[in-house]
Structure 1
């Protein structure tokens, strides 16, 4: 399907990771021009850069730093003109799982810095650039934030990560969709929120059957998403042609998940036995 994205300039943060890389490939298939952001490792982008040097440009930046974000957008605009669509995909999910009672303030602040402060910096710089863009460029304007099921249901041992995703999915998405139209009247803001996705972060599921069971137990589709499942929703939601009247939405890509499985049968049996 032609989504009307040919020659549209898309900036993807965290483009070297599983979802980011899959998203870059989907935009390339649509004929978009892409600025692919990475922080420390661009090896996964190398084959794409070699094959699509005319429409794909990689830029390194620590997006938690204000000056680095400004440079990222300056380099992007110098190569392909103003950024029309921004996909805010970067983020960290610290290990090990640590309850709030045992979590350090250092870890909490680090996660909020990368997952929330940096999101603010990226979206702010995008909107500032949009202010001076042409009406033609503004007509394609869209912000896609990447949330998570943890932002809806929480996740034990990762309150820092869940809190940042909730903030993006609700407070930030719902505010930005009202603000972007003051700059670009047809601009839209949506959030794509996946559950478990087959990326390197999900490899733990293969080694821990109980964790895999918990991941699938409340999911009607009973399968883990692929990065392409998420990328497809990102690209479709960003398209003014097919999603031009969709804004302020949190689109869950989680196989119909209904919540978290908190207890296994043996957990309940043990609790009941202790009460008797």
Structure 2
């Protein structure tokens, strides 16, 4: 199925990386369900600007009932079910190495918050869309990870551990759902310049990344979003259970 034929849910789709993904999907002709938690104004603006392509829905992705409601409302709005999901939303996190919780300060609540925002949220969206994807014999699920799993240069313990768990879940889902024509993959980025989550990052960190990267620059949200299109397109129909690192070549494998 071509991208322009798809109804794509983007969690956290009204700001940061999510906004870049949404805008690229709009350019590709897709219908986009823009999920937001608190960015109502930005989400409503997208729907006003693109009334035939965008449906904005508030939902806490860690709440199963709210996610199920979102899927039901989107199906009514577009007249067809969501058939692709980009699990992008980042729950309560900023990339500020100086302010990260040290291991001595970590709590179960801190660890669980990130796990719920990454893994539990993906479970909720997958379950909510599964019946319609099975019926259609088609589905694309793209999970957003991090290259810190392979290269933990800054020990964001809670965030990186949750994303590592999401990578494992991506692969078990791919094995389980491939029989129904549903492909599940992950794209893992480095620090993007710039998003809401990276605005607290000092400039010298971006400079250091740029000089360490073969492309000699920091990846932008738009460049990362472009790679996601490959996993939604028919060109990746035989690709599932994979983790593609999109960081300009900084981290290998």
Q: Please confirm whether the aligned pair reaches a TM-score higher than 0.5, indicating the same fold.
A: yes
User: Tell me, what secondary structure is at the counterpart of 1:147?
Assistant: strand
User: C-alpha deviations, 1:221-267, integer Å up to 9, x for none?
Assistant: 22111111111111121112x221111111111111138xxxxxxxx
Identify the residue that residue 249 of structure 1 maps to in structure 2. Answer: 242
Instruction: Tell me by how many angstroms 1:155 deviates.
Output: 4.7
Identify the residue that residue 17 of structure 2 maps to in structure 1. Answer: 19
Query: In structure 1, how many angstroms separate the alpha carbons of the residues matched to 2:71 and 2:41?
Result: 22
Distance 1:258 1:23, change over 3 A: closer
Structure 1 segment 111-130 matched on structure 2, within 5 A: 111-130=114-133
Runs of 5+ consecutive residues of structure 1 not aligned to the other structure: 260-276
Identify the residue that residue 262 of structure 1 maps to in structure 2. Answer: none
Query: In structure 2, how many angstroms separate the alpha carbons of the residues matched to 1:217 and 1:120?
Result: 38
User: Tell me, what secondary structure is at the counterpart of 2:238?
Assistant: coil
Structure 1 segment 111-150 matched on structure 2, within 5 A: 111-131=114-134, 133-134=135-136, 138-139=137-138, 141-150=139-148
Q: Does the 8 Å contact 1:97/1:156 carry over to 2?
A: no
Query: In structure 1, how many angstroms separate the alpha carbons of the residues matched to 2:126 and 2:192?
Result: 25
What TM-score, normalized to structure 1?
Answer: 0.82
User: Tell me, what secondary structure is at the counterpart of 1:257?
Assistant: coil
Query: In structure 2, how many angstroms separate the alpha carbons of the residues matched to 1:50 and 1:201?
Result: 26
Q: Does the 8 Å contact 1:38/1:58 carry over to 2?
A: yes
Q: Higher Cα Rg: structure 1 or 2?
A: 1
- Runs of 4 or more consecutive aligned structure 1 residues displaced over 4 Å after TM superposition: none
Instruction: Tell me by how many angstroms 1:14 deviates.
Output: 0.8
Identify the residue that residue 192 of structure 1 maps to in structure 2. Answer: 187
Query: In structure 2, which of residues 154, 157, 164 is the aligned counterpart of residue 156 of structure 1?
Result: 154
Q: Does the 8 Å contact 1:76/1:83 carry over to 2?
A: yes
User: Tell me, what secondary structure is at the counterpart of 1:112?
Assistant: helix
- How many residues align? The count is 246
CA RMSD of aligned residues (A): 1.9
Structure 1 segment 73-222 matched on structure 2, within 5 A: 73-80=71-78, 81-92=80-91, 93-94=93-94, 96-131=99-134, 133-134=135-136, 138-139=137-138, 141-169=139-167, 171-182=168-179, 184=180, 186-198=181-193, 199-205=195-201, 207-209=202-204, 211-222=205-216
Runs of 5+ consecutive residues of structure 2 not aligned to the other structure: none
Identify the residue that residue 226 of structure 1 maps to in structure 2. Answer: 220
